[in-house]
Structure 1
Amino acid sequence: MDEIIAYFQTIPSSHRSLLLIGGITFFWLLENGFPLFRFSYRKWHHAGINFFFTVTTILINFSLAFLVYRGSVWVTEHHFGLLYWLSVRPLWLQAVAGLLLMDLIGAYLAHYVQHKTKALWRFHLIHHTDTWIDTTSANRHHPGESVIRFIFTLLAVIIVGAPMWLFFLYQSVSVFLSQFNHANISLPKKLDTAISYFIVSPDMHKVHHHYVLPYTDSNYGNIFSIWDRLFGTFLVLPAHQIVYGVDTHMRPEEHNRLSELLKIPLEGYRALTTESKN
């Protein structure tokens, strides 16, 4: 455990980049060989849109990374946060508890709040407009959403009392599993079901991308499936019944043009402003 902590305490940026690029490449190849759905789409055009949002997410996280660093150093120096208050020991248990809590606040809660808040939903909506969910879809987040998610991650670091090694461990696991559960791969049903009792499996997460309620408002988890089961947001839908997208933006010109996707939050703001005036 000490070796793992030492590695993630000072994990090189090149290794983090390799995890991102390597994960996308691995699942990209895997979904080509064992696809859940056989899409009729321009794969590289679709990937290009999602890669654009991947780059903007990286730039935003990199630009704001100093806040996470300062927050983590502060909680460590002042013994602030749940891990310190609960005196979680030994280190392996601290890692597990820390990952669970970081996932709860930084992923599940952030995701849930975006679905339940109109202003925030307009940013998250870009992720749901994707009608061809594959591993590149994992990073299809509007720059505004990237900022929102960063804020929740920073809150998670402070509330949990996460040292830097725990933050980097969480971030690494989160990136890899997000690519995994978005990948257009077909796993044996029993295997996918077994996985879904512990972590978010591909079939479990794809229910969240069904185009209508209540399925859109379900299965919010990213790493662990326990939070959806615990808070009653877990739903099941057979894969053959899933239709990707969101019912308000099903036309190709709405979900397959970068310029239009970037405008969606602004259109929502105008609509909210009009409603308030009326």
Structure 2
Amino acid sequence: METILNYFETIPPLHRGAIIVGGLTFFWLIEGAMPLFNFKYKKWKHAIPNIFFTITTILVNLPMAFLLLMSSDWAIANDFGILNWLPEMSLTLYAILGVFLMDFFGAYLPHLIEHKVPPLWMVHLVHHSDHKVDATTANRHHPIESIIRYTFTLIGVIAIGAPIGIVMLYQSLSIVATQFSHSNIRLPKKIDKLISYVLVSPDMHKVHHHYKMPYTDSNYGNIFSVWDRLFGTYMELDTDKIVYGVDVFPNEEENSNIKDLLKQPFQKYQKPTSFEEIPEN
């Protein structure tokens, strides 16, 4: 574990980029071999806006990386944060607990708040307005949301007292986890269910992307599913009944256009669309 944490303490930006591209490529190929939905779409065309927003997320995060380091160094130097207040433990347990807590502060909590606070929900809608959820949807976030999520991550680093090695390890695992859970892959139901007891599985997260409440407001987790089970936000829905998108922005053409998506947080809701008016996947 010491070797792993030492590596992530100084992980080069190129290696972080390789994790994003490598994970995306891997799940892209798996989707083609065992798809959950047989989308009738040009996959590369669908990927263009999603990859654009992945790039903007990287561009937002990279210049502010020093803030993570400064926050982590301050917490360690001042013996501040949950990890520093706990009794001494093995390095492995320390790292697992650190990643576990970072998943709450950096993913579950901001995701939950984005759904509950109207202005933040309008920003987050860019992610939900994808009508063909696949691996490329994972990092489809408006640049404003990237800043919001980064802010929560900073708060998490300080509250947890996480060393930078754990922070970078968490972010790397988070990228792969979200690509996995958004992937358009069909796993055997029993295996998916088994995974969902600990980690966020593809079928579990797909429920969150159903176009209609109350399912949209459920299954907020990113890496660990325990947060949804613990706080009562876990829900199940048969994948055959899932329809992607969001009822207040039903226009798939606009939801596939980068210019329209950049403006989406500042637009007014449209009249909610009934279930029957939205085509099946």
Taking structure 2 as the reference length, what is the TM-score of the superposition?
Answer: 0.94
Residues 19 and 176 of structure 1 are in contact (CA less than 8 Å); yes or no, is this contact kept in structure 2? yes
Q: How does 1:105-124 map to 2 (within 5 A)?
A: 105-124=105-124
Aligned to 2:278: none
Aligned to 1:230: 230
Call closer, same or farther: CA 1:92–1:35 in 2, change over 3 Å. same
SS for the counterpart of 1:252 is coil
Instruction: Give the superposition deviation at 1:195.
Output: 0.2
Aligned to 2:274: none
Q: How does 1:1-278 map to 2 (within 5 A)?
A: 1-268=1-268
Call closer, same or farther: CA 1:109–1:88 in 2, change over 3 Å. farther
Instruction: Give the superposition deviation at 1:168.
Output: 0.5
Query: Given residue 75 of structure 2, which amino acid in structure 1 is its aligned partner?
Result: V
Structure 2 unpaired stretches of 5+:
270-281
Instruction: Give the superposition deviation at 1:41.
Output: 1.5
- After superposition, what is the alpha-carbon deviation per residue over 1:117-159, rounded to whole angstroms, capped at 9, x for unaligned? 0011111000000010000000100000000000001111010
Instruction: Give the superposition deviation at 1:87.
Output: 2.9
Question: What is the aligned residue count?
Answer: 269
Query: Given residue 207 of structure 1, which amino acid in structure 2 is its aligned partner?
Result: V
Question: Identity over the aligned pairs, expressed in percent?
Answer: 55
Instruction: Give the superposition deviation at 1:2.
Output: 1.5
Runs of 4+ in 1 over 6 A off after TM superposition: none
Instruction: Give the superposition deviation at 1:6.
Output: 1.4
Q: Distance in 2 between matches of 1:97 and 1:220?
A: 19
Instruction: Give the superposition deviation at 1:193.
Output: 0.3
* Higher helix fraction (1 or 2): 1
Out of 88-97 and 119-128, give the one that drifted further: 88-97
Instruction: Give the superposition deviation at 1:264.
Output: 1.1
Q: Distance in 2 between matches of 1:24 and 1:187?
A: 18
SS for the counterpart of 1:51 is helix
Instruction: Give the superposition deviation at 1:268.
Output: 4.8
Q: Distance in 2 between matches of 1:167 and 1:217?
A: 27
SS for the counterpart of 2:224 is coil
- After superposition, what is the alpha-carbon deviation per residue over 1:237-264, rounded to whole angstroms, capped at 9, x for unaligned? 0110000010111112331111111111
Instruction: Give the superposition deviation at 1:42.
Output: 2.2
**RMSD, matched Cα:** 1.1
Structure 1 unpaired stretches of 5+:
270-278
Query: Given residue 186 of structure 1, which amino acid in structure 2 is its aligned partner?
Result: R
Taking structure 1 as the reference length, what is the TM-score of the superposition?
Answer: 0.95
Q: Distance in 2 between matches of 1:195 and 1:118?
A: 32
